[in-house]
A and B are shown apart, each in its own frame.
Chain A
Amino acid sequence: MITAIILRFLHYVIALSVFMHDLIFSIPNLYGMVYSKKNLVASIRSDAKLLKKLPMHVGLVMVENNFSYRDIANIIVWSVAMGISYVSVYDINGEIKRNSILLQQQIERSKEETFASEESKFEISLSVSNNKKNAANNEEGSSSKQARVHLVAADDGRENLVKATHSFCELVNNNQYLIEDIVPSSVDSHIQKIFQLPDPDLVILVGHIDSLLGYLPWQIRLSEILKLPSHKGVNYKAFLSVMNIYGKTEQRFGK
């Protein structure tokens, strides 16, 4: 009985300290104004140059409720400004995926503001997975630099591996494929073909749950998993600090 009370107290203390930590984390918001809107793009670019490495594909795993599309759009635009070519946004219930138009609008608006001074604008195309038509359209692309945003939900994760098994089954049944050929490399190229995305180099858990909640199990093999306390009202500094941590990581590939 008494232990239960102590434990509960302990959890309150931890929750409070996490809350305080986040509060301090978000204070740069105030002097973050240093990044005036005019030169934000320039400072993002110079920050990106200072990073030792930049991910090609960032996966944003939203482990929070009540999404603020404006803030998600900001994170996407910052990523693109840094030079990241692929961003995937995941929420387990597929809410963002269903509201893709909303997000698209916010991205446009955020882009306008961030790149206001820029002549050459980035093309940010939104695609919902399992929609090959959409992806094909995007490839026709214009000459300007392109970044792709992919919205994913739980059914793109494990369920996708089940679907892959179904297609292998059909191929084997038609004698077009040998069972022995179902090995990691062939399955990987099959999945790459469906997604047309490289594996995420960086996965950011946005929110306070430390779990992937079903985000692309096949693709996260070598992804660095980092955290961002919240996306609501998130500022560029907080995002940059995550990118800085990523820039310092090393991979040894089992060697």
Chain B
Amino acid sequence: MSWFPERNNQTWLQKMCAGILKAGPIPKHVAFIMDGNRRFATKNSMDRAQGHLQGFNKLAETLEWCLDLGISEVTVYAFSIENFKRSKDEVDCLMELARQKFSKLLHEKEMIEKHGICIRVLGQLTLLPQDIQETIAEAVCFTKHNTRAILNVCFAYTARDDICTSMREMTNGVKQGIIKQSDINEELLEKCLYTSQCRKVDLLIRTSGEVRLSDFLLWESAYTCLAFVKVLWPEFSIWHLYAAVLHYQRNSQAVEVARQNNQIERERLQRESDHKCILEELEEQMQIKGDKSRDTSNIQSKVAQYAKIRNHRVQCFVDGLNRRRAQYFEKLTCNHSNQSSES
């Protein structure tokens, strides 16, 4: 089945409900844990591969529902690093599915352009077989300029791994002298995550009645509305999506207030840190000059000046990181096209 299934025209009832929902706040970014493919397969006595395929088809369908509703960004948990621990057969089967679906995507370039879809793949891609990395890279590079709808596929991803990657990047930045240790804060940590390009996650839906995050978007889901749905993923219907959006509308205000308070707290911490850095600088100068009178005049303007420099420094670091990550994909694409032309 393709990424763009034949449009099932929605019934008047569905259209009406969508219209009503749209009168309220609609989440802009929804994350899915697509759980229950294997249980679905067992329940309907199919083999596992069939179950996973059904799961993919459901994803294609769900993306369309989301787009119709005005949800412009979707993140899905496709494959966790923990999943490598499953039986070899099953891992192979999932890899094969990914291989097929990503190359299928490259054959549907027209449709992607038409819908303006941008695809990002987040995770430790180097753990994957080389050919899948290359196909993914091509899909990512080919769609990166699109902005109308965004699909983030978390592949070989766990949130803890993501956080650690971010920590390593920052530590490395400090070691190389690009940033200072005092520049490390929540905001920077966030900017070094794989999800740095994504907007905030408004709603997280997990199917199959499990009530865990299972190492998915741990950092990002701090201020996210959670919806746990009882059905298995292949049974997920448009009504479940509508119910989840309704659930989001009930929670969105309180969550938003909490998020804004957190933002204010962050800014306060930032100002405090800038102030402290300036004081330390002055202290040092005093010791060098042997001056005893502390120059505390216009400290505010000094702090402002420092904040400006710090912003610039951090921006350079983040830009460098993003460039490096983009280059990884570009390099793989080159490999891929070279190989194709040789063969």
Contact = CB atoms under 8 A, between A and B. Distances in A.
The interface centre, meaning the residue of A63, A209, A210 with most chain B CB atoms within 10 A of its CB, is: A210
B222 A158 contact: yes
A172 B176 CA distance: 11
Interface residues on B, range: 35 or more
B164 interface: yes
A155 B272 CA distance: 15
Contacts, number: 160
A224 B23 contact: no
Interface stretch (B67-75, B250-258, B321-329, B331-339): B250-258
Given A3-B19, A187-B164, A213-B223, A166 B24 contact: no
B135 interface: no
B167 A211 contact: no
B204 to A, nearest CB: 9
B211 A225 contact: yes
Contacts of B170: 165, 169
Interface in A141-170: 154-155, 157-159, 161-162, 164-166, 168-170
A4 B262 CA distance: 30
A184 to B, nearest CB: 4
Contacts of A169: 170-171, 174-175, 181, 184
A164 B222 contact: no
Interface in A11-40: 11, 14-15
Interface stretch (A41-49, A72-80, A215-223): A215-223
A179 interface: yes
A133 interface: no
A183 B212 contact: no
Contact of A179 (B168, B181, B218): B168
A213 B254 CA distance: 10
Contacts of B23: 3-4, 6-7
A102 interface: no
Interface stretch (A105-113, A118-126, A231-239, A247-255): A247-255
A51 interface: no
A172 B175 contact: yes
Contacts of B222: 157-158, 212-215, 217
Interface in B170-228: 170-172, 174-175, 181, 184-186, 189, 210-215, 218-219, 221-228
A77 to B, nearest CB: 25
Interface in B215-270: 215, 218-219, 221-228, 246-247, 249-251, 254-255, 258, 261-262, 265, 269
A244 to B, nearest CB: 14
B22 interface: yes
Nearest to A170: B181
Contact of A213 (B163, B186, B228, B255): B255
Given A154-B265, A166-B184, A169-B184, A254 B19 contact: no
A182 B167 contact: yes
B251 A210 contact: yes
Interface residues on A, range: 35 or more
A225 B218 CA distance: 13
Contacts of A155: 265
A211 B225 contact: yes
A173 interface: yes
A221 B218 contact: yes
B288 interface: no
Interface stretch (B6-14, B78-86, B290-298, B302-310): B78-86
B64 interface: no
A169 B258 CA distance: 30
8 contacts: A6-B23, A154-B262, A169-B170, A172-B171, A182-B168, A212-B221, A212-B222, A253-B85
Given A169-B174, A211-B224, A254-B86, 19 more contacts: A3-B19, A4-B24, A6-B23, A92-B261, A165-B170, A168-B171, A169-B181, A182-B164, A183-B164, A211-B255, A212-B224, A217-B159, A221-B160, A224-B212, A225-B211, A225-B213, A225-B228, A249-B211, A255-B86
Interface of B: 19-24, 80, 82-83, 85-86, 158-161, 163-164, 167-168, 170-172, 174-175, 181, 184-186, 189, 210-215, 218-219, 221-228, 246-247, 249-251, 254-255, 258, 261-262, 265, 269
Interface of A: 3-4, 6-7, 10-11, 14-15, 63, 92-93, 154-155, 157-159, 161-162, 164-166, 168-170, 172-173, 179-180, 182-184, 187-188, 209-215, 217-218, 220-226, 249, 251, 253-255
